[in-house]
Amino acid sequence: MKKFLLSIVLQVLVVLFVFPLIETGFRVTGDYKDALIIVLVFIALNFAARKLIVIFTLGIGALVYYLTLGVAGLLLNAIIILLIKGLFPQMLSVPSFTAAFLGGLFLAIANYFGER
């Protein structure tokens, strides 16, 4: 549980401080509460999407993830960030797919270090 909470805290810090460094328009419009909501929705959608992909592709989706060395997961992260932008346009500003891809990369790195 401590690792999960540390992962959430690191991801909130990424959303607050690293996203604006990626691109000037890529930011959370509110404070840390909005960043926390974005991270929790990101975690829930990411978990659900990965499970659904594995179920609907009968395990081939997991194989594709490993064969692409995780790039498929990063693309999924970018798509989820763009989806969150659509769900909460007043909270998150995402200027481009490239910014979303890099944001997903940094969220994945924060999650990796939080879980270790």
Q: Which residue has the tokens 């009968």?
A: 58
Using CA atoms, how far apart are residues 54 and 73, in angstroms rounded to an integer? 12
pLDDT for 28-68, tens place per residue?
Answer: 988 899 999 999 999 999 999 988 888 888 878 778 878 88
Spatial contact of 6 and 114, defined as CB atoms under 8 Å apart: yes
Q: How many CA atoms lie within 13 A of 4 on its CB side?
A: 4
Q: How many CB atoms lie within 10 A of CB 62?
A: 14
Predicted confidence (pLDDT) at residue 26 exceeds the cutoff of 80: yes
Using CA atoms, how far apart are residues 22 and 12, in angstroms rounded to an integer? 15
Strand ranges (DSSP E) for the chain? 27-28, 92-93
Domain residue spans of the chain: 2-115
- Give 86's pLDDT tier (boundaries 50, 70, 90): very high
Q: What's the pTM?
A: 0.91
